Structure 1
Amino acid sequence: MIIAISGLHGTGKSTCAKALAEIFNLRYVSAGEMFREVAREKGFSIEELSKLSEIDKSIDLAIDERTKKEAEIGNVVLEGQLTPWIIANKGFKIYIAASKKDRIERISKRDGLTLEEAEKETLTRESSERKRYKEYYGINIDDLSIYDLIIDTSLFSKEETIKILEKIIKSVKNYLKEGKNK
C-alpha cells in the first residue's frame, strides 16, 4: 500500500501521515524533512534553501529521486508537495487543507516564530515552491484534481481528522481487495 499525503505548510499533513503510518503499520517518509535536513547540512534556513533551489534544481531532484525509491519499495506513507505526482497512478492520494490563519498559527507555535515571521517565511517558501514546481516539472500544485481525497483540518480536531482518514482508507483497501478498482 502506498499513501501520498500533500498540502500546504501547516495543514497538519505530517501529523496525519505519521498517524496513518502507525495505524496501518507502514513506513513514513517526509520530503519536507529531507529538505530540512539538506538545509541544516548546508547551514541554510529553509527560506534560503528554497531560494537556492530556484537556481539549483539538483536539490529538488535528489529529494524526488529518494521519494520515488521509497514508493517503489512500497508499504509507505509519503508526505510532501510532489508525492502525488511522483507516485503517478499508484497508491491513494490525499490533500490536507487548512485556512491560512490556522496554518500560520500552527507554524508559529511549532517553530517558535512570531505570527509575522511564520507568515513571511511560509508564504516565501510556498511562492518559491510554486515557481520551481511549475518551471521544473510543469506542475501546478494548486490543481487538486490529482487527489482521491481532500480534507480540511480547520473543520475537525486532530483526532477527528485521523479517524476520518482511517475509516476512508480502510474502505478503499476493502474496495481494492474485492477487485472493483485499480
Structure 2
Amino acid sequence: MSGFTKVILWTFGVVAVLGVVGAAVIAMNFSEVKHGVQNALGQSDEEESDVPEEDPELAALADSDSDEGFKVSDDESDDGLPSERQFADDLHHMTHQKVTASQKWGHLEITDERIEEMYETAEASDYTYRDFYMRALEAWMEGDFSNAVQVHNTIWNEQNGNVGKARGLMTEEEEREYKERHFE
C-alpha cells in the first residue's frame, strides 16, 4: 500500500471516529436541548401530574399591581439587608435542591438555619414580594416543599428564563445525588 493511500485511509478513520464521538455528544445532549426548546415554546412532554398543583394564594402574592408582573428590585437596602434581587436569587438557588429542570445555575443548600434566616430577612424587609417569600418559607419551615416548583418558576420567569424551567419535584434519590454532587 502506498504512503498516499495510508494517509487517505488514516484521515477517513479519524474523521469517522470524530463523527461517532460528535454524534454521541449530540445524542446525549438532545434531551436537554429538547426540553429547553419545549420550555421556550411553553410545551412539555412531562406528565402534568408530575408538577405539584399551584398554590393560588402564593400565586396571588407573586402578582403585582404593575403590568409587568413579578419584578424584583436591584436597589440596595438602607437597613443592611440584601437587595430584593439578591434575596430572590438566593431563594431560587435553594429551589434547585428540590426541583427537576434541564439546567440549573447556582446552588444553595437548604438547611433549617438558612430557611429561618431567609424568613427573618423577609419579615424584616420592605421587599415588594415580602409576603410571597414568607408564605413559601413558612411551608418550608414545616418540611413542605411542594411549592418549590412554583417558587422556582416564578423567580425564573422574572429572570426571563428560557432554559431550565422546573418540571417537577425530585425524588428522594435524585435529591440525595444532587446534594452529594453540589454540597459534599
TM-score, normalised to structure 1, is: 0.27
More strand by share: 1
Which of the pair has the greater relative contact order for Cα pairs under 8 Å at 6+ separation?
A: 1
Larger Rg: 2
